[in-house]
């Protein structure tokens, strides 16, 4: 059986966090004197590590980006975390995978505490055997570090039955560090071009397509 162990990204793969993340970024920037009138312009922040995005898109230095992340969490931890919605078909897909005996794991650059709260809020937590997220202090935030943490905690040595599912290049590139096959989802926030360039082996246009790919047998 292939795809016995399935690593899922969270934002843009299981849930659509657009409202919460963009409003949190807007709030963080406002506290630093940067006004953003249209939060939709902040969608590129969905997926990558936050500090990295503040540096990339607003030319912040490391100290400034860490302050921006702190500001972001002021809003996100109270309101933005639940300004979020589960993609249509996700609960049904997770149930089908669980019933088929698959081991489901979340691997996200979002802090573990936030990820667990989101999964519990949307009643998705029972589908997952393990949640691997970032640390609040930033010591584990890159996708490859999150994946490594999951592999170590679950004592997974034979990686031939793993697959990583995500919507951004960071998911694909992080998995490739371990030669783990990948599926890029096109209903999230990464483009076909981004995912193909990163080297995704498969692409899923919809949750239905993703379910079919994941339940394929050798």
CA separation, residue 78 to residues 20, 86, 131, 208 (Å): 10, 19, 21, 33
- Active-site residues, by number, are 9
**CA-wise closest residue to 183 among 160, 207, 159, 149:** 207
Phi-psi region of 34 (alpha: psi -120 to 50; beta: other; left: phi over 0): beta
Angstrom distance (rounded) from CA 136 to CA 123: 23
The secondary element (H helix, E strand) that includes residue 107 is: strand 103-111
**CA-wise closest residue to 178 among 1, 5, 11:** 5
CB 75 within 8 A of CB 28: yes
């Amino acid at each position: 059986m292939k795809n016995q162990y399935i690593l899922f990204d969270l934002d843009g793969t299981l849930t659509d966090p657009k409202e919460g993340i963009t409003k949190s970024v807007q709030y963080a920037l406002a506290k630093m004197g940067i006004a953003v009138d249209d939060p939709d312009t902040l969608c590129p922040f969905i997926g990558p590590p936050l500090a990295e995005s503040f540096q990339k898109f607003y030319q912040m230095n490391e100290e400034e980006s860490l302050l921006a992340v702190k500001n972001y969490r002021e809003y996100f931890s109270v309101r933005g975390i639940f300004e979020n919605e589960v993609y249509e078909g996700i609960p049904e897909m997770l149930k089908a995978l669980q019933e088929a005996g698959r081991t489901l794991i979340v691997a996200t650059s979002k802090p573990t505490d936030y990820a667990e709260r989101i999964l519990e809020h949307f009643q998705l937590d029972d589908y997952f055997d393990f949640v691997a997220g970032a640390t609040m202090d930033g010591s584990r935030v890159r996708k490859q570090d999150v994946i490594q943490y999951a592999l170590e905690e679950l004592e997974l040595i034979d990686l031939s039955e793993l697959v990583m599912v995500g919507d951004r290049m960071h998911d694909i590139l992080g998995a490739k560090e371990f030669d783990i096959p990948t599926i890029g989802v096109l209903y999230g926030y990464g483009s076909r071009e981004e995912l193909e360039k990163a080297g995704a082996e498969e692409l899923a246009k919809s949750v239905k397509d993703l379910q079919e790919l994941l339940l394929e047998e050798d």
